[in-house]
Chain A
């Protein structure tokens, strides 16, 4: 075991893994995290805690992780390279590991122009792929990037995100390969709605044997309404919702659209579960964590497997 995390063990045992995410609050109230964590508990193998997503300032990811951990769910620390140089990154990784966080997701981070402080200076000292090999070097070789020996290596199951729907498509699998070469143990994908493109992506990844080198968790997000689908399709970079998907939810009367969204999400999890090379699902029920039990249970993925800790 590289990290000994629950997620790593579940995947190593060959189970179909389930992760979800909690966005920390825009304030210092820990109860906001704990409320979300209650909805997550028992439904997942690990729960991502986002890191100032869309550059909107929130409680720190590490603090959120500790709260999630205390509430009884294994946390997964998201870390962006937008706000930290390599000194802060190394330090935060050591701190996170010391506090028992065992899963790490290495991300670039949305540009600061989307958030509260578009005039902020960004960092991008290293990029997300370099963060993967930095974390791997610290874990596996027990050294800092400088070459100095660590007094205790941080233990992380190292993950990354991929967006099969961003442009240009032709380097999407090549970039996944770079992340795998850098040392990623698992991948969580951007929300999938366009299954045709995703199937093609997986075929291309499999041709290079990537599905055997990295655990791929397919990302899904339940749609709450046709309005949300149209908004995401139009406004969120790298989200691709085909017309027939939008039509399916739009054809429902307004009051039944949320239920339809959940039904579609469940179907989608069941579909990806049957795909070769998909090791799990990452269910991003954005500000809708209370539906996780219904979705994951509906997909036949409950109870979550108990692996020896």
Chain B
């Protein structure tokens, strides 16, 4: 057995268990943080040092570890590190569940990392559920009415999604007699024409997976959950869970359903249509939000739409293009979310309100935080010279090359709409009179996260090839 290949996941899961046990013996705020940090660092080291030149099969083909896994593992580890660092600002509110919060974050992380490597419908399902259940609990961790409601809603809708996904998996299994993704692909290759059952199963599977990524019309849980959850969890949901959701769609569909051509084009077109709906609805709904967390939830939905353009390109090209651009987009999006959310967490904690109007005059109260927040918002909008601009540029040009001009026109119009609400936040911070006086200062960890991610955004905006080359070397291994 190739167990060293899943050493990073093992390390993360073991650290989570240790955190719980340590907390049972002697609760200590810093011990939890240090253990989580150590676990993530160790996992990152092993991920970084591993040999990914050849795809490796683990657990009799339940998982495939390849360059794609490595890229996403590193990205998810980095995001988790950022989330845990920023959540130190949130300690007061999570005081009594501090260790559980860290342990669950790590469990979710392990689940998401497995999602990036799942090569079997069963392992995919298990990975998704590990992630989802950890998140249900964490969303409800504030234990107030909103938080509990959000958690319950997410769990119930998540239950529906899981049921639908399982039904889809069952139909796929029924049509192909296999759960391994490459076996499914082989079986479909042997068919003269994909059966209606297979097609339906594929769509139900797609619907279930799109739930995780919060794509329209499976997105309705997201704004409520984002608003009710503790803000670091909102960040985690938005930056990590969304990426893992998109990543598993890419792997499952590319590996299992990219042959024959018309089947691949089917889900490519579905992804394109959903992408158009998702970004349009996300952006339009974001326009009228006054709560920063809800606004960012809708903004995140819109970005799911942009990422689905990448999925659509993968589908239309039968997995031969679009993967590197998608990975780049994920990284750029994660950086922007980290930079924006870390500052939003600091500000909303200080002001005790999530309303955007509270941000008034921030440019005068804390010019540095304002600058960092602006970098993140510019990147989300897609203005040069930020990573967000380059990410959109790559995704859009890739799509145009695959005949998706209509989708790109919609996407560009959407970018314009999104500029309105992103810039509105900046306008409030820049032009409106401050409600109070006194400088708002971030703690060192949150400040570091914001600074590093802002620096990364600018760096990737100026020299995108540093990362894109890496992404191009991290493509999915096809059967």
User: Real complex partners, A and B?
Assistant: no
- Which residues of B are interface residues toward A (Cβ below 8 A)? none
